[in-house]
Copies of this chain bind each other. A is one copy, B any other.
Amino acid sequence: MNDTRKYKTKSQASEPTLKRLPGYLYYLEQVKEEGIINISAPVIGKELGCDPTQVVKDLAVTGIKGKPRVGYNTYELIHALEDFLGFNKINEAFLVGAGNLGSALMAYQEHQSLGLKILAAFDVDEAKIGQTIGGIHILEYNKLFHLSGRLNVKIGILTTPNNVAQEVAEDLVNCGIKAIWNFTSAKLSLPKEIIVQSTSMSSYAAVLLRRLNDADL
């Protein structure tokens, strides 16, 4: 009756918190480079321009506790964050749609620091099939079904044209994919247990352009 898990099972960490965590991680890695062993929430907050209380609450999701008057152990905190986010293990993924954006994501080296490993890319374009970008082979789309049977890949990166996004997403789900990183503008209708993370460039452009126009009076 009272439908608490209305959209999807909630992580104990809120989405805003999760989105901030990589920022802490990046900053802490810089701090570690400088040889700083302990770091306090007020310092992190000042550096990253956010509330120190928020820093404490965000970092609490990792289970790490700081010591009063000392702060957190930099090394320990980095490990806990990587562990919590799953950045320190190999998260295998398939990519579908080796167009401009897809090719870029294949070439984008920083995925590795997120523990994200694109095993293979798929496309229907004959001209692209057989090519290698960033060490990743572009295979014929139909091969997706064979490969997924042998491998236990859980993440699908969707960079197809909008008009085939739904269809491809369904194929991915049928291939055992549990989570889809959707770079298209399409709204995907999938079983509710499938995790869909939509990254729409146009959403960001919207905020940027509107703020700019607001500022221009």
Please give the residue numbers on chain A whose beta carbons come within 8 Å of chain B beta carbons, in ascending order. 8-9, 11, 13, 15, 18-23, 25-27, 47-49, 84-87, 91, 100-101, 103-105, 107-111, 113-116, 134, 154-155, 162, 178-179, 181, 185-187, 189, 193, 195, 197, 199-216
Cβ A100 vs Cβ B91 within 8 A: no
Give, as a whole number of angstroms, the nearest-CB distance from A80 to chain B.
13
**Which 7 residue pairs are nearest across A and B when measured between Cβ atoms?**
A104-B104, A22-B202, A86-B209, A19-B203, A100-B107, A197-B208, A114-B205
Copies of this chain? 2
Residues in B whose Cβ lies below 8 Å from that of A215: 9, 178, 193, 195
Cβ A208 vs Cβ B179 within 8 A: yes
Q: Is the interface of A mostly helix, strand, loop or mixed?
A: helix
Bound complex: CA A91 to CA B206 (Å): 12
Return 9 A-B CB contacts under 8 Å, by A number.
A18-B206, A26-B186, A86-B210, A86-B212, A101-B108, A114-B209, A181-B204, A195-B208, A195-B212
Give, as a whole number of angstroms, the nearest-CB distance from A196 to chain B.
9
